[in-house]
Structure 1
Amino acid sequence: MDACTLGDLLDVIGGPSVRLHTAPAGLTVPVTEALLYDAHAPLPRVPGALLLAVGVRASAAGPLARAAAEAGMSGLVVRGPDGPLAEAESAGVALLSVDEDAAWHHVHLLLASAIGARPSAAASGLGDLFALADAVAASVGGATAVEDPRQRILAYSTVPGQPVDEDRRQGILGLQVPTSPENSEQYRVLFAAPGPVRLPALRGGHLPRLAVAVRAGGETLGSLWVVDDGSLAPDAEEALAQGASTAALLLLRARAAQELARHQNGDLLRRLLDGTADPAGAAHRLGFGLGPDGNPAPVRVAAFVLDSAVSAADVEQTALRLLDLVRLQCEARYGRHACVLTDGVVYALLPALGELGGAREPQGRAGVERPSARRPEGVSTVGRSTPAGAPRRRTNRHSHKRLAEDIVGRAGQSLRVPVRAGLGDVVAGLAEVRASRDDADLVLRVLGPELPVASVAEVRPRVTLLRLTEVLGERRELSTGAWRTVLSYDAEHGTEYARTLVSWLDAGCDMAGAARLLAVHPNTCRYRLKQAQQQLGIDLDDPDERLVLWLQLRTLAGLRAD
């Protein structure tokens, strides 16, 4: 299991419970365990431990920080805010604090649980699935693959000398079983059978299969497939059934680890969106490190929200279903991402390499850790999956927009509720995620049935006017002026000076264009403008006054020529 780091620990319990004051060695320093200090016993040498300063006042814990460093520990935890900051920095150990009234045994339990809960590739069971595939292949006598219920290949055997066919090669190259009506029928037969089944070759030149469904209780978790070249072991079916039992345990463990990782990543993304998470630690945890140029990898926030027509009784459950849909689509497209539901909005953090500086974007497939050194014999490097070290596909300017449109379309079909999606600007690293989130939120506010998906660049004028409306309305000196006089005069005398002024300004001060917008004769438009200047004291020859009047009428009064 990969070592838990200080950043991982803070992702799980950072905030009100445990506060970080300094980390001289960075957030990637390993944390191995939480150790209670005993003043009556020698301090043991436990590399990577966090030492809990039991019985020591925070202000007097300087010597303990130095002792922890000498013992190879990663950090010191004190109660209260007055910890030995300078001593910890000098000694090179992290300093953390908890509330003054926190019970040490509760703190110890909290830290120990968080350190032990950190998911990793090994803990996910996916690495063990490769070992299982090899073990089953050796026992049964044929090349083996482990699949999930959606026919994605999670692991495959690499035992030398075992025959394979083209379906096997193509499936491993794409980590997805090729689709066909014949394949669908075989899966129907497989999942209806109580045990292993023998399935014929789908076409000439291909080999039959021995397969079994992997189940836990009444739930189907996936399947095991063995290429049958006619030389399988006599007890192949029994051995495959035993392998399915082991696979069920590993898949359940993988699911639990993935759910934990999703929860932790979602909580971390929530704090990134609020601007309260450490970007460096978050980048390490979420896998958004440095780009090829050595700078922070660019990212973008996408926001999805249900149409306001959803009833209050259904909105919470429907929003959770939307979260699942967004997460699934992002996993299938990028692999590396984070999604969270907060305040009724589903936010997704998307990699944007290739959109800033022409960098390249790594690809991944959700839930699959594919060791680059493991490639079965006879499988070429040409296919849908990009081999390690090869150039990755470039992200074009519209890939995120297409993803959002696809999610909105799927959501409309499966949830039977209209969904809107806004894309913030691409930003240079996780330190600027909040700005991209603010962009996405603004975009959501200007979308409607006629435009359900847009990036902030596509609706920049709309969001700019929206923000101007808010700013102008909040400041008295910006919300007063001639526009109020015009509206009052119209209300009192039944004139249409305000609408005429907006139409003329919208038309670029072209009298004929304004008349067309108003559906009146140009002379009527000209007369109205002349009267407005004379009776209300408006100087339309002054470009500054024209600009301010137009902005106030458009934003504060909400008037448009159309």
Structure 2
Amino acid sequence: MDACTLQELLDTLGEPMLRVLTAPAGLTAPVSEVLLHDARDPFPRSAPGALLLMVGARAGDVGPLAHDAAAAGMAGLVVRDKDGQPDTVAAAKAHGLALLAVDEDAAWHHVHLLLASAIGSRPGPASSGAAVGDLFALANAVAAAVGGATVIEDARQRILAYSTVPGQVVDEARRQGILGRQVPSSPENTEQYRVLFAAPGPVRLAALDDELPRLAVAIRAGGETLGSVWVVDDGHIGPDAEDALTRGASTAALLLLRARASEELSRHLTSDLLRRLLDGTADPAGAAHRLGLAVGTPVRVAAFALDGTVSAPDGEQTALRLLDLVRLQCEARYGRQACVLVDGSVYALLPAAGAGGSPTRAEQRASGRGGERHKRFAEDIVRRAGQALRVPVRAGLGDVVPDLAAVRGSRDDADLVLRVLGPDEDVAAVTEVRARVTLLRLRELIGEQRGLTAGAWREVLAHDAEQGTDYARTLVCWLDAGCDVARAAKLLAVHPNTCRYRLRHAQQHLRIDLDDPNERLVLWLQLRTLGGLRGADRA
């Protein structure tokens, strides 16, 4: 693969997760790895193409750090939004460094994982937990048995593990691959991989340029190629090297499959847990522990669904792809994900806390002002999903609730938002459409009670149907207009005298007392909720 560039990082992650504040060398500058700044550790003397995460750096530290980063050949610095001040931008420009900003609430370790994954320096699913340790141990075992420095790669040529047996010869290609955790791309390398993956067993590959020859074998399980094992052949590998390498590849296949199964099981358990939280049957304290949330962490539910007005081919498969897209973005943003597909909607649990685990003041006020960060996040998912699936996607955000015990209520909110979104809306928080949601709930509650469905509203609609009058809509417009005849006439597009005439005859023929505020309120509610009428263009 070619080196990742700043432009590719932006295309992969996009706003609001990642923004460029300055890029003196342009967006085609290569990026090789991502490093966490730690003031207690020595600064790297050489790290060409690296991005440095400015963890804990203060304003006065930026100048010296930018100087050292430029001296080490780094590509740029990464700060939080709030730290991207003019002095910081100027320091980066002065030293020819790119300056990137991430969301101020994002945890640094989440940012590190996200950027590393996008750059291609993070191992795949097999790198988590014990699996990565097992792979490194296996690489050392193969190196000792075969007699050459060994690396284990996945099917995308990402280096998952490498041997560290003392005294074994390595060349520059191996060093560069380990540094970037990615095999450099070239036509010669591509041809060697083609030969390797076509062969039924180990293959001896000639040296390329200044490299040493290689002995390699594909890692397979059934008919699937999972990766490969490569050994540097410096002329000292053993006579039974091919057998030892074949055994090593077989063990690597088991480890990679075990890691994949472990990840799938973890996702399944997390999805099942969220499903039970959504229907109110899970233990909140136990769920918080399993989801990595502190007890009492405020959360909210976001619901994503395909636009019901558009027919999607293979709707079930499209919904599963939507689940994958939402899950990927949640993993990127929060480091851990809790997403599940239920009855065609994808639900995601969004923590409403800052990076330190405690709710920020902004998030404490989120339910009152729509949760702007969550809304921007949902809008980004909707945009990306719509482009990828070629089907419009809509999202509803429930209220922020104080803990996991109240998740069901936030889920109900999110479902209601999806139901009341207008034709030109694709994302909304419940606080933004509260009136519409309340009317919808009232319609459902009133419709369930026979005594609440009786009243003059039925007579009004019946009279209109029989006599061809327009009393019902006139009454709704007049009530929507605050009993102002002139405004009601404008809504109806008639003369005010016509409006007055209709109101007077409605009172006379249908015995409606429009001077009684209680009767006006009940009539308006019933016509709006049960009759489905509205005077203005908005619900």
1:304 maps to 304
Paired amino acid for 1:333:
R
2:446 maps to 472
1:358 maps to 360
2:87 maps to none
Report Cα offsets for 1:121-159 as digits up to 9, x if no partner.
98762342344466678888779675564x777567788
Asked whether the 8 Å contact 2:303–2:346 carries over to 1, the reply is yes
Report Cα offsets for 1:172-231 as digits up to 9, x if no partner.
7xxxx69x9x68996686466435878989xxxx999989764434423346689x9x99
Q: Which runs of 5+ in 2 are unaligned?
A: 1-125, 198-202, 364-369
Asked whether the 8 Å contact 1:165–1:207 carries over to 2, the reply is no
Asked whether the 8 Å contact 2:297–2:359 carries over to 1, the reply is no
Residue 165 of structure 1 and its aligned partner are, at CA, apart by 7.2
Q: Secondary structure at the match of 2:297?
A: coil
The whole-number CA distance in structure 2 between the counterparts of 1:196 and 1:347 is 50
Report Cα offsets for 1:234-293 as digits up to 9, x if no partner.
68x9788876554332111101111222222222222221111211222222323x1xxx
Aligned partner (choices 269, 290, 300) of residue 264 of structure 1: 269
Asked whether the 8 Å contact 1:197–1:212 carries over to 2, the reply is no
2:333 maps to 333
Report Cα offsets for 1:43-91 as digits up to 9, x if no partner.
xxxxxxxxxxxxxxxxxxxxxxxxxxxxxxxxxxxxxxxxxxxxxxxxx
Paired amino acid for 1:286:
L
Report Cα offsets for 1:477-536 as digits up to 9, x if no partner.
322223223222322332212111212222333333222221111222233223333443
Asked whether the 8 Å contact 2:278–2:411 carries over to 1, the reply is yes
CA distance 1:409–1:183, change in 2 (3 Å)? farther
The whole-number CA distance in structure 2 between the counterparts of 1:200 and 1:220 is 24
Residue 468 of structure 1 and its aligned partner are, at CA, apart by 1.1
Deviates most, 532-541 or 157-166: 157-166
Normalising by structure 1, report the TM-score. Answer: 0.57
1:128 maps to 134
CA distance 1:450–1:190, change in 2 (3 Å)? farther
The whole-number CA distance in structure 1 between the counterparts of 2:409 and 2:227 is 41
Matched, 1:252 2:260: no
The whole-number CA distance in structure 2 between the counterparts of 1:233 and 1:401 is 60
Matched, 1:321 2:321: yes
1:505 maps to 479
Asked whether the 8 Å contact 2:312–2:318 carries over to 1, the reply is no
Asked whether the 8 Å contact 2:475–2:503 carries over to 1, the reply is yes
Paired amino acid for 1:556:
L
The whole-number CA distance in structure 2 between the counterparts of 1:276 and 1:542 is 47
Paired amino acid for 1:477:
G
The whole-number CA distance in structure 1 between the counterparts of 2:320 and 2:474 is 48
Q: Secondary structure at the match of 2:428?
A: strand
Q: Map of 1:93-242 to 2, 5 A cutoff?
A: 125-132=131-138, 146-147=153-154, 149=156, 171=180, 190=193, 193-194=196-197, 214-222=219-227
Asked whether the 8 Å contact 1:353–1:359 carries over to 2, the reply is no
Paired amino acid for 2:469:
T
Q: Map of 1:55-74 to 2, 5 A cutoff?
A: none
The whole-number CA distance in structure 2 between the counterparts of 1:287 and 1:137 is 38
Aligned partner (choices 372, 396, 409) of residue 435 of structure 1: 409
The whole-number CA distance in structure 2 between the counterparts of 1:329 and 1:199 is 41
The whole-number CA distance in structure 1 between the counterparts of 2:453 and 2:491 is 27
Residue 315 of structure 1 and its aligned partner are, at CA, apart by 3.5
**Number of aligned pairs?**
390
The whole-number CA distance in structure 1 between the counterparts of 2:314 and 2:287 is 33
More helix by share: 2
Matched, 1:457 2:425: no
The whole-number CA distance in structure 1 between the counterparts of 2:143 and 2:320 is 40
1:78 maps to none
Residue 558 of structure 1 and its aligned partner are, at CA, apart by 0.6
The whole-number CA distance in structure 1 between the counterparts of 2:138 and 2:428 is 46
Deviates most, 330-339 or 253-262: 330-339
How many percent of aligned residue pairs carry the same amino acid? 66
Paired amino acid for 1:220:
T
Asked whether the 8 Å contact 1:196–1:240 carries over to 2, the reply is no
Paired amino acid for 2:267:
R
CA distance 1:406–1:524, change in 2 (3 Å)? same
Normalising by structure 2, report the TM-score. Answer: 0.59
Asked whether the 8 Å contact 2:273–2:282 carries over to 1, the reply is yes
1:274 maps to 279
The whole-number CA distance in structure 1 between the counterparts of 2:516 and 2:509 is 17
Q: Secondary structure at the match of 1:508?
A: coil
Q: CA RMSD in A?
A: 4.5
Q: Map of 1:509-528 to 2, 5 A cutoff?
A: 509-528=483-502
Asked whether the 8 Å contact 1:267–1:340 carries over to 2, the reply is yes
Paired amino acid for 1:299:
V
Asked whether the 8 Å contact 2:152–2:227 carries over to 1, the reply is no
Q: Secondary structure at the match of 1:275?
A: coil
The whole-number CA distance in structure 1 between the counterparts of 2:377 and 2:188 is 31
